[in-house]
Structure 1
């Protein structure tokens, strides 16, 4: 399993977020009639959620239907598109019936997108199907690209080619050090004179090693590298517009400098290298979002450790305190590193009320012994920081849990229950 495959699988993990099913006009959803009640009422199962529906047409218990959401007077209405009787209820039949109903071409791409949305219990639209199929037509990584499309729908991101390209850049496996070096080389070869950009590229892709034993140095490094890359550029612009303050023109951040470069008359190879960097930064910004009280931050950062250049990937998921700060008492942090000697290493750290459980994933048998040797010292260090390290476990990548799922399989989002009449069919 290569680096990009591992990291895509690993970062599917998320803390469960309870959120209601959102029905919007034009969406197509797959549902099942569980029960029929008196007064033309029925229980409809859509994904993991059960809704109470008012029927205006007769439907059958234990039958599956494709529904399309339509605007109602007081509540959403579901129009029945196709009926799938239990005896013929195979996924292939579900897919073929929908494509026929929507008069869409029966291609490998459209079938794969529908299969993914049905499996992940996500609503779709005919526009999503058509756009996704066009993006996937020349895909070299069909499975990975379908996962990106699923993420776009799951996170309710704008369904545009630009967003798709940005998320693809994050999951492409091309690290920041390689992309930064590529752009530096292209600018040098074509004798492009852009002192601020060249200086910032050298700073971001610097060779100065990071002291991982100094927590203050790590904090300062993270803060500075995020600013240098331009992670907060749009937020700062919005702040200036809101407060009606002057926007500085000499912003020394990578993203705005790259955007300026892309507007210039430059060679295609420079434009491609710059666009890849912009897409990667934008993709990470898109993946970092707030869903209700839950905040998720996704970062991939270039740094050097003992003369070994690498990219550290990390994902933070947790809640904010009342004053808007990240709550370090209750959170989950995932790290992904490609180290010089022990190679690919993932660390899953769960914190509940300052009690910590850590899982380390690595395919090197040597690591298991090293962890045993340093566990006592690590517990003492965490105690000094007012944390209790309850457990630390090691697993190889692809190890199975008790339920038979991969140790880095995706967590399914939970849904809160509805009460009352939700929809009309």
Structure 2
């Protein structure tokens, strides 16, 4: 369809009125415009998106009429051609789309009609080429994806100005998926164990990473396990038949030296240890030609100021320290005893150096030169204990950790999981803050390297691509728009037999100093719980005043919430926030269902979505 054309005054002319956000103008692009005002000499003010331009009309048009215009020339002056007749306020979206499809000579398939209506509604830049590409992507939509999700992915591709390829489309769709990450990890782990084209070392490195990601509390559990076993081993009141298998297992795991016996289960070690650990103090006591009094005073001061020990535990250790004299064996034995206890009683507690009781315990045993060596020692014990007759000790350790889980513990687990996944791999590599060797040990660079290998099996390749695509999609969906920032992350967690798929979406604004404005936020949690079933928590923060709407169909939840309300109020007050109220509603009263994806086809895994 041809129509009257007109030329606008250049956009940088003095009499052009424009907003801060200008509409991009490209040849062939179709845009929506409304005639706002008519002026003498056949000129008019035209509203295009958020921008107003003054144009010279070659054919009379009416004030208030809206048209679709095609850009026939973008520079030095913009020239537009009318491609549809007037779009009155009574025109439905479907009617407008039909006019545009006919004018642009496009197919009228159901996919194309859905696309053109979405583009008009969202005011996206329209061109024949983009619409045809979008139609092909939507026609090949994966079975588990929705039409709405596909259209939103296309919108993001246009906003990010990335190629409209099927690979990028699938990546964005994967990033929008809020369930199934633990399954992707489990599937890849299973496929790798059957892979014949990888060397054992390559395979083991990736499988170990997948194992660590799936079990973020494995090190705290290992620490509690070691503490329980050493505590039992040091208890001379127990029969040898109970203590001997523990001794043998710790020797087999290379945690205790081969010369360890039931009479001397923890031989003292003078191996170098991480600074500010109990192991470093013991190694100093054993050094020859050193002024003993000075070291003893350092030891006494270190114990008195150690926040990980209780007053009674400090007294136990100090009893073995005389004025200016301390026998390394007695001190080491007493430190092993108290840190074995604290590895179980204060699992997540840390001192001023970021060290936990388990770190100090391993350092006393001579295995704590670095944090990595401490963790490797604990992992050796964990791996050995899985098929051991002493499995009851592991079960007890898991229950110990479970009883101490709190917000800080989950924060630690999420940070460690994101780090091991390699979500920030590219950013860390660019900043140069971390060593390349350390970054290369994370999952994402391992999988990228794996995908470069031509001979790996299709099932391994598909599994690796699925995980990399999920992480890339989340990164593409994260970004900033002026002062508004968006960050998406997904954290697959498995702990003590429980699986959790946690998706975090943060949307917020930045203050002038570049920091997050924490006074205003919206946080949404979507949970599938064993007892309470489907639950949505909508927390809104306005000027540090917190209002919580909790949606659940269980009639008992209000009683539970009322019991916890004082604790929540106190906790928020500690952080500088005021609780306005908690409102319990059923899903019949819920007005925000569109915020959440349809989970009808999701697995039985427990899911958590966090939207801020």
Counterpart residue number, 1:169? 174
Q: Supply the distance in 1 between the matched residues of 2:133 and 2:208 (Cα, whole angstroms).
A: 40
1:289 offset after TM fit, Å?
0.8
Counterpart residue number, 1:68? 70
Q: How does 1:197-346 map to 2 (within 5 A)?
A: 197-206=206-215, 208=217, 214-240=406-432, 247-248=436-437, 251-264=440-453, 265-304=455-494, 307-346=497-536
Runs of at least 4 residues off by over 6 Å:
209-212
Larger CA deviation: 36-45 vs 340-349: 36-45
Instruction: Label 1:19 to 1:203 Cα distance change in 2 as closer, same or farther (>3 A).
Output: farther
Q: Supply the distance in 2 between the matched residues of 1:397 and 1:167 (Cα, whole angstroms).
A: 30
3-state SS in 1 of match to 2:456: coil
Larger CA deviation: 164-173 vs 178-187: 164-173
1:127 offset after TM fit, Å?
2.5
Counterpart residue number, 2:205? 196
Q: How does 1:67-146 map to 2 (within 5 A)?
A: 67-69=69-71, 72-73=74-75, 76-86=78-88, 89-139=91-141, 140=143, 141-146=146-151
Instruction: Label 1:74 to 1:356 Cα distance change in 2 as closer, same or farther (>3 A).
Output: farther
- The answer as to whether partners of 2:30 and 2:126 remain within 8 angstroms in 1 is yes
Instruction: Label 1:72 to 1:155 Cα distance change in 2 as closer, same or farther (>3 A).
Output: closer
1:92 offset after TM fit, Å?
3.0
Instruction: Label 1:212 to 1:96 Cα distance change in 2 as closer, same or farther (>3 A).
Output: farther
Instruction: Label 1:246 to 1:371 Cα distance change in 2 as closer, same or farther (>3 A).
Output: closer
Larger CA deviation: 112-121 vs 60-69: 60-69
More strand by share: 1
> Which structure carries more relative contact order (alpha carbon 8 Å, separation 6+)?
1
More helix by share: 2
Instruction: Label 1:210 to 1:130 Cα distance change in 2 as closer, same or farther (>3 A).
Output: farther
3-state SS in 1 of match to 2:83: strand
1:225 offset after TM fit, Å?
1.6
Instruction: Label 1:158 to 1:397 Cα distance change in 2 as closer, same or farther (>3 A).
Output: farther
Give unmatched runs, 5+ long, in structure 2. 1-18, 218-400, 597-612
Q: Supply the distance in 2 between the matched residues of 1:346 and 1:234 (Cα, whole angstroms).
A: 34
Q: Give the structure-2-normalised TM-score.
A: 0.57
1:87 offset after TM fit, Å?
8.8
Larger CA deviation: 267-276 vs 387-396: 387-396
Counterpart residue number, 2:38? 36
Instruction: Label 1:158 to 1:383 Cα distance change in 2 as closer, same or farther (>3 A).
Output: farther
Counterpart residue number, 1:56? 57
1:116 offset after TM fit, Å?
0.9
Q: Give the structure-1-normalised TM-score.
A: 0.79
3-state SS in 2 of match to 1:386: coil
- The answer as to whether partners of 1:116 and 1:146 remain within 8 angstroms in 2 is yes
- The answer as to whether partners of 2:32 and 2:67 remain within 8 angstroms in 1 is yes
3-state SS in 2 of match to 1:136: helix
Instruction: Label 1:76 to 1:314 Cα distance change in 2 as closer, same or farther (>3 A).
Output: farther
Q: Supply the distance in 2 between the matched residues of 1:368 and 1:393 (Cα, whole angstroms).
A: 9
1:334 offset after TM fit, Å?
3.0
Q: Supply the distance in 1 between the matched residues of 2:544 and 2:567 (Cα, whole angstroms).
A: 18
- The answer as to whether partners of 2:25 and 2:74 remain within 8 angstroms in 1 is no
Q: Supply the distance in 2 between the matched residues of 1:134 and 1:389 (Cα, whole angstroms).
A: 50
Instruction: Label 1:66 to 1:256 Cα distance change in 2 as closer, same or farther (>3 A).
Output: same
Supply the RMSD in Å over aligned alpha carbons: 3.2
Q: Supply the distance in 2 between the matched residues of 1:316 and 1:288 (Cα, whole angstroms).
A: 9
1:337 offset after TM fit, Å?
2.9
Q: Supply the distance in 2 between the matched residues of 1:349 and 1:389 (Cα, whole angstroms).
A: 10
Counterpart residue number, 1:422? none
- The answer as to whether partners of 1:23 and 1:76 remain within 8 angstroms in 2 is no
Q: Supply the distance in 1 between the matched residues of 2:501 and 2:519 (Cα, whole angstroms).
A: 27
**Deviation digits for residues 113-158 of structure 1, max 9, x if unmatched?**
1111112222222232111111111334333322322343356555
**Deviation digits for residues 328-360 of structure 1, max 9, x if unmatched?**
233333333332222333333332332222233
3-state SS in 2 of match to 1:297: strand
Instruction: Label 1:249 to 1:218 Cα distance change in 2 as closer, same or farther (>3 A).
Output: closer
Q: Supply the distance in 1 between the matched residues of 2:187 and 2:506 (Cα, whole angstroms).
A: 29
3-state SS in 2 of match to 1:383: helix
**Deviation digits for residues 7-42 of structure 1, max 9, x if unmatched?**
xxxxxxxxxxx9735323143222333443445444
Instruction: Label 1:212 to 1:36 Cα distance change in 2 as closer, same or farther (>3 A).
Output: farther
Q: Supply the distance in 2 between the matched residues of 1:210 and 1:323 (Cα, whole angstroms).
A: 40
Instruction: Label 1:144 to 1:91 Cα distance change in 2 as closer, same or farther (>3 A).
Output: same
Q: How does 1:346-357 map to 2 (within 5 A)?
A: 346-357=536-547
1:270 offset after TM fit, Å?
1.3
**Deviation digits for residues 18-75 of structure 1, max 9, x if unmatched?**
973532314322233344344544444556x463432333322333311234554567
1:172 offset after TM fit, Å?
4.2
Q: Supply the distance in 1 between the matched residues of 2:101 and 2:151 (Cα, whole angstroms).
A: 18
- The answer as to whether partners of 2:474 and 2:488 remain within 8 angstroms in 1 is yes
Instruction: Label 1:282 to 1:89 Cα distance change in 2 as closer, same or farther (>3 A).
Output: same
**Deviation digits for residues 183-240 of structure 1, max 9, x if unmatched?**
0011112344322211110011116377896343333323222221111111123324
